[in-house]
Amino acid sequence: MTLRQGPAAEPGTAPAWFAFLRPAHSEGLPDWPATVGHTDKGLMLDCGTILDFRPADQLLQSHADLWLTPMTGVQPPARNDVDVLDRTYQVLDARLEASTDSENDPLQSVRLMVGMARGSAAEGNLFRAAHSLTLCESLVQRL
């Protein structure tokens, strides 16, 4: 198992997040903003387990930077998570309308999870929104 870790939230503090991955999965993410940590037999969790200690707004920004903006082209404005999710939902909705087989299109699931994130963010629950986007990110990796 390979441990990848994100940068510290503040200088001199612990990493902001840890991800446990099989070596092949870790090597498949060369552009991921992480360093490879130790791979000894200490604390090891299942492949794909991520322990993230960042505030919700940083989690949402990370999703935007890593997959949401590249997939949809929606650029996040400063500090308006609901607007970004609304526009992302609209982009996905338009793509599904243009799809010749929208019922079986995997974007249906992505749109559903973005819709859940959008609703949570509108209620002010950014952690729940980030959780929905985490599930959505797993779906997007399979597209």
pLDDT, tens digit (0-9, with 9 covering 90-100), for 76-133 = 665 567 888 888 899 999 989 898 887 778 889 999 999 999 999 999 998 899 889 9
In the chain the first and final C-alpha atoms are separated, in Å, by 25
What pTM, to 2 d.p., does this model score?
0.73
Q: Which residue has the tokens 């998570």?
A: 81
- Tell me if 110 sits within 8 A of 92, measured CB to CB: yes
Phi, psi dihedrals of residue 91, rounded to the nearest 5°: -65, -45
Cα three-residue angle 64-37-135, rounded to 5 degrees: 35
CA dihedral 40, 43, 46, 48 (to 10 degrees): -80
pLDDT digits (tens, 9 = 90+) for 5-56: 888 878 888 888 888 877 776 666 666 666 666 555 666 778 778 888 888 8
